[in-house]
Amino acid sequence: MNKVTKDILKKVYPLRPAESRKYDFGLLLIIGGGEFYTGSPALSAMAAFRAGVDMAHILAPKRAADIVAGFSPNLAAFPLKGDWLDKEDVPVLISHAISAKSVSLDKTAIVIGGGVGRSVETQEALADFLQETDSKIVVDADAIYALSKSPLSIKDNPAIITPNIHEFFILTGKKVDGLLIEEKAKIVQEEALKINSTILLKGFVDIISDGKETIIDETGTPYMTVGGTGDTLAGICGAFLAMGFSPFISAQAGSFVNGKAGELASKKFGPSMTAMDLIEEITNAIK
């Protein structure tokens, strides 16, 4: 089975022209966060910046947005009105998505789902947004639950879905835990073809398929079980998608960079490693 190698970096990091301008290398919108998981969108944004995206905008419920705004002067956080995402926020999210495509000349993508929650109101809002948006999108975490109600709602979008084993079952109804890598890969490819999206199944070996091709990524470390490394993965994938690469290439590069950065961080910190440590190693991972 084909494996992702360091050569993927040559595809996503070509020499930048001297006349490059802002947004040539992407504007990423990150929709996430809630009353409890306030740091999720910040981790995605900081990882995206380290991966090379030009700008990241975070759209989050007010408490999360206010906290995120204090993380770093690099982070731009727009506060939604309530304490959690609901249907009243959907027109605002759509408006921001349209505006982002306009200012970036379509060099934009969306990461959605990290820390946003699974309340009925939030899940309905996520489902409505997924039905309405035509943007390039990374569907992660809680947004996978919303997508599972109508998996074909993003079939016309360039999309990456980043489930773990349980979220893959929620999305597809297929249990792959305990199967051989080859068996898992076959199922992932079949499901990716059904919904016309790229699936990045997270695990000790990541499996990536667009329904036509399938590839595995063996980077990573057992220390990446720490919370937040899924958020960094989503942010990195979103960065490459915003830069203009295909979902399949973006998922491969995102998996490799996230895994390699995790390896480097774990060598320094071992079981003390955090997602922030991983983010700081992205620079070395892409050298």
Cα–Cα distance measured from residue 55 to residue 29, given in angstroms and rounded to the nearest whole number: 9
**Arithmetic mean of pLDDT, 246-253:** 98
| Residue from 161, 221, 198, 181 nearest 1 by CA | 181
Band the pLDDT of 85: cuts 50, 70, 90: very high
User: What percentage of the chain reaches a pLDDT higher than 70?
Assistant: 100
Q: State the pTM of this model.
A: 0.98
Burial of 17 by CB count in 10 Å (0-12 exposed, 13-18 middle, 19+ buried)? exposed
DSSP label at residue 51: H
Give domain 8-13+23-285's CATH superfamily: Ribokinase (3.40.1190.20)
Residue carrying the six token digits 């089975």: 1
Burial of 50 by CB count in 10 Å (0-12 exposed, 13-18 middle, 19+ buried)? buried
Q: What does the CA dihedral 160, 161, 163, 168 come to, rounded to 10 degrees?
A: -130
- Residue 1, pLDDT above cutoff 90: no
In whole angstroms, how far apart are CA 221 and each of 43, 172, 269?
A: 19, 27, 12
Strand partners, 198: 160
User: Any idea where the domains of the chain sit in the sequence?
Assistant: 8-13+23-285
DSSP label at residue 107: -
Band the pLDDT of 177: cuts 50, 70, 90: very high
What are the tens digits of pLDDT across the range 121-171? 999 999 999 999 999 999 999 999 999 999 999 999 999 999 999 999 999
